[in-house]
Amino acid sequence: MKVITTLCVFLLLVMGCQRKEHIPVIKEVSSDFFTLRVKVEKVEKAKIKIHTELVYTGDRSIQIIHMDPLIGAVVGERSNRPDIVRSFVGIQRTLSNNEAYSYEKDRIMDIRSDDKVLYAEAIFSIEGESVEKKKILDLEINLDEL
């Protein structure tokens, strides 16, 4: 009976150690009335799930114009930041106070062993302001945190 109990306890411990809970990492960066929020979660050993959103905290509604994607995300090495490919299509969106806008669907990205950082960058402009005054928010997430 002791052998069976010991075996059951051992199996429960082994199964519990194998089942790792992947806790998401959420990072934010703010400028003026905008916050770039990125949530990253490891879904498999070599795959991560990314959710990105732009949060507007101003008092009045405004219209933004952005490219596709609104928030680009790439993984890479620390020493060499890869380019984010965008296409300018002039997407317009009206944002209200405390609205979280997520143009892109959640993405699953493959990561390699030499990928160390997730780079995220939002580029947009506010309607009525010159294109030269575009807003750029970017952040980095260390993949070792996942």
3-state secondary structure 61-106: CEEEEEEEEEEEEEEECCCCCCCCCCEEEEEEEEECCCEEECCCCC
pLDDT of 48: 97
Q: What sign does the CA torsion over 130, 131, 132, 137 have?
A: positive
Residues 6+ apart with CB under 8 A from 107: 49, 50, 73
CATH code for residues 22-145: 2.60.40
pLDDT of 3: 64
pLDDT of 22: 77
pLDDT of 111: 95
What phi, psi does 68 have (nearest 5°)?
-115, 115
Q: What sign does the CA torsion over 138, 142, 143, 146 have?
A: negative
Give the separation between CA 93 and CA 75, rounded to whole angstroms: 27
pLDDT of 110: 96
The answer to whether 120 and 26 have CB atoms below 8 angstroms apart is no
What is the pTM (predicted TM-score) of this model? Answer: 0.81
Query: By C-alpha distance, which of 134, 62, 73, 143 is closest to 101?
Result: 62
pLDDT of 6: 65
pLDDT of 130: 75
pLDDT of 128: 84
pLDDT tens for each residue of the chain, 146 residues long: 676 666 556 655 555 555 566 789 999 999 999 999 999 999 999 999 999 999 999 999 999 999 999 999 999 988 888 899 999 888 999 999 999 999 999 999 999 999 999 999 999 999 888 766 899 999 999 999 88
105-134, pLDDT tens digit by residue?
999 999 999 999 999 999 999 988 876 689
